[in-house]
Structure 1
Amino acid sequence: MAERGNERERRRGPDGSQARTKDEAMITAELPGLVVTNAPNQSVPFLLDTNWFDAAEVVIDADDRPFGEGSFDVDLPQIRPRFPWFTIGLVDPGDGSAVFTLHDIAMGLVERVDPFEVTVTDPRGARSATARVAGKIEFPIEDENGVAQTTIPLKAADPKTYGPVVTPAPSTGLPQPGTGIAYPITYPIDYGIPGDPGQLVLTNVGTSYAIPDLVISDGGSSGGFDIVAVGSGEHIRFDRFVPVDSVVTIEQRTGRAYIDGPTNDVTRALTYSDLIAVPPGGSITLQFNVIGVATGTPKLSAPTFRPAYR
């Protein structure tokens, strides 16, 4: 779609709005209370323009070399926040009530205290970001025939977008030994019950590192739990008694841990807290172990894990 302010001519619909060209992909944007596509339709809000597909700005500070010959590239790149915006159009040939309904929806976004999810679907599938309004929403009504246009400016919670939650949720129990072949051997041979290594495998089909939140449920421990990335060695250790009916959540992106809900913060129990990230187009394997004595059947899972994209 065109950038705001771009002078490139585009085909327009019979109502004067920008129309989706014959070979242009269908795009659907979903915000709270509002679903729009880039195909104009009378009496229904439609997507005129967006910068959703722009990447976040990458900034690298460099020191000058002596005598001004080039520069040192010694600093790590800093990725700035994403500020996506959506320009919505509407042509209401009726009494104009649809225009004011759109106005109520747009202004309602300003009142939202908590960030909300924004999803854009294109031929690749759905990708989402958590955002809130950042800036002024202007709502000019262009004429008495119910023609309106508004731009909704947002600030995303991080520079990435995310695909749908992986289902079924990846999970594993504790390591369990196999039983082996019973003796004396009888025919047909009973090879016993196979063991379980107690490993959780996470696969990221996206184009950027994905950081999973980890949940321990269905059982407790007298001393806590250990989670180690096989091969790379990143380590999360939770040193605390866990009741059999409690749920422990390790929120890696914020560095927090809580038990039975966010209001019960137990971050101090994280004696090791390396960041475990799943590489783009790759996988990681997490080894799950109990500290002390397990009660119930503890399970490690990543119920909200999503592939990440730039």
Structure 2
Amino acid sequence: MTTAEIGGLTFQGTRQPNGLHFRRIIDWDSLPESKNQEEDRPNDHGSFGGGEDFRRGATTSIEGWFQGEDREEALLARRQILGALQGQDRRITVTDELGPTSRDVSVRRVTLGDIFGFRFEISVDMFAKDPRRYGPEVPESTGIPVAGGGLQWQVGSSGTFGGSGFFGGDTIFGGSDTGSAGLVWPITWESGGSDGRITVENDGNADTYSLLEITGGLEDGFSAVEVGTGREIRFERFIDSASTVYLNPRTGAAYIDEPGNDVSGYLTRADWFSIPPGGTSVIQFFPLGTVTGTPTLTARTAPAFW
């Protein structure tokens, strides 16, 4: 059975004696219009290529009705619907046989028909800036790299162990075999250790991003590197053990504890990375400076769909 939920209202896809029902959900899984502008070839057939095929925002609508037991119930339902859908930001979730997918939308128009027989028609028009649909988030977490027996990595303010890159080389784990800490590679991680890595997956058919959460305490901040590409997100600021930094790679937003506490100015590197359709990414977590708590990196990844 298919349902559509928005603003605390649930539209049923099957006929019930009373309540909210939808007749159809328009353009929920359609591919939005391309933003590419074609240019005609002046001396040949066809057009010049338009580059990467980015998509415009998505429009969608719900058409349905409400059925009540009496006129008073229908009048109260109209108030509830208008109150629930008033305002800009809402999340709509459609659940079908393949599971739930969601979009964040602004409600552009709500039209309610006249009441006949304790029933009235409903139309809800919405616009999503991000045209992709997202499945449920999957969280993956790790602490900082710790070898069996309690050996703990700490990266200095320069971000290296005796070289121009991480652990004494130009790339992660590259370069010389011994960092300035006197450790010899390769390291064997014994029972109880951690490599400070997480693997995130995207089971969808469109690119997606992992929302990152980093808890303190970290004296000088942290670094998160996508191992496959070397892309780095580097945040250099003290993070108290009771605080959490939130990063949204899709928008570039960064805040600490509350959305109003913007800390994007402390991002000294912001090589944001996405997870391709049907692909995976490995993220390496490094502390910067002294560790004063039990820092944790959590990546919340929602598969994305067209």
Amino acid at match of 1:307: P
Question: Does residue 30 of the first structure (1) align with residue 5 of the second (2)?
Answer: yes
C-alpha separation between the residues in 2 aligned to 1:147 and 1:179?
Answer: 69
Q: In the TM superposition, what is the alpha-carbon distance from 1:78 to its structure 2 partner? A: 3.1
Amino acid at match of 1:98: E
Question: Does residue 126 of the first structure (1) align with residue 100 of the second (2)?
Answer: yes
For the 8 Å contact 1:208–1:280, the answer to whether it is kept is yes
Q: In the TM superposition, what is the alpha-carbon distance from 1:126 to its structure 2 partner? A: 0.8
Q: What residue number does 2:284 align with?
A: 287
TM-score, normalising length: structure 1: 0.80
Q: What residue number does 2:133 align with?
A: 161
Q: What residue number does 1:141 align with?
A: 114
Q: In the TM superposition, what is the alpha-carbon distance from 1:253 to its structure 2 partner? A: 2.2
Q: In the TM superposition, what is the alpha-carbon distance from 1:195 to its structure 2 partner? A: 2.8
C-alpha separation between the residues in 2 aligned to 1:224 and 1:88?
Answer: 51
CA deviation profile, 1:247-289 (whole Å, cap 9, x unmatched): 1111222212122222221111111101221122121100111
For the 8 Å contact 2:74–2:115, the answer to whether it is kept is no
User: Pick from 64, 88, 95: which aligns with 2:64?
Assistant: 88
What is the correspondence of 1:1-310 to structure 2 with a 5 Å cutoff?
Answer: 26-51=1-26, 52-92=28-68, 94-113=69-88, 115-135=89-109, 137-141=110-114, 143=116, 145-166=117-138, 169-179=139-149, 193-217=191-215, 219-302=216-299, 304-310=300-306
CA change 1:95–1:193 in 2 (3 A) is closer
CA deviation profile, 1:170-212 (whole Å, cap 9, x unmatched): 00011112349xxxxxxxxxx9635311001111111211111
CA change 1:216–1:141 in 2 (3 A) is same
C-alpha separation between the residues in 2 aligned to 1:147 and 1:74?
Answer: 49
C-alpha separation between the residues in 2 aligned to 1:100 and 1:212?
Answer: 43
C-alpha separation between the residues in 1 aligned to 2:190 and 2:277?
Answer: 38
TM-score, normalising length: structure 2: 0.81
Percent of aligned positions that are identical: 33
Q: In the TM superposition, what is the alpha-carbon distance from 1:106 to its structure 2 partner? A: 2.6
For the 8 Å contact 2:8–2:84, the answer to whether it is kept is no
Structure 1: gaps spanning 5 or more residues: 1-25, 181-190
Q: What residue number does 2:186 align with?
A: none
CA change 1:108–1:77 in 2 (3 A) is same
CA change 1:160–1:104 in 2 (3 A) is same
C-alpha separation between the residues in 2 aligned to 1:256 and 1:91?
Answer: 43
Amino acid at match of 1:80: R
Amino acid at match of 1:208: A
Amino acid at match of 1:198: G
Q: In the TM superposition, what is the alpha-carbon distance from 1:68 to its structure 2 partner? A: 4.8
Q: In the TM superposition, what is the alpha-carbon distance from 1:142 to its structure 2 partner? A: 5.9
C-alpha separation between the residues in 1 aligned to 2:50 and 2:133?
Answer: 28
CA deviation profile, 1:128-172 (whole Å, cap 9, x unmatched): 11112113x2222263x2232111111124101111122xx2000
C-alpha separation between the residues in 2 aligned to 1:82 and 1:121?
Answer: 18
- Comparing 257-266 and 228-237, the one that deviates more: 257-266
C-alpha separation between the residues in 1 aligned to 2:84 and 2:128?
Answer: 14
SS in 2 for 1:106: helix
SS in 2 for 1:45: strand
SS in 2 for 1:30: strand
C-alpha separation between the residues in 1 aligned to 2:8 and 2:219?
Answer: 47
C-alpha separation between the residues in 1 aligned to 2:77 and 2:9?
Answer: 8
Amino acid at match of 1:280: P
Q: Give the length in aligned residue pairs.
A: 267
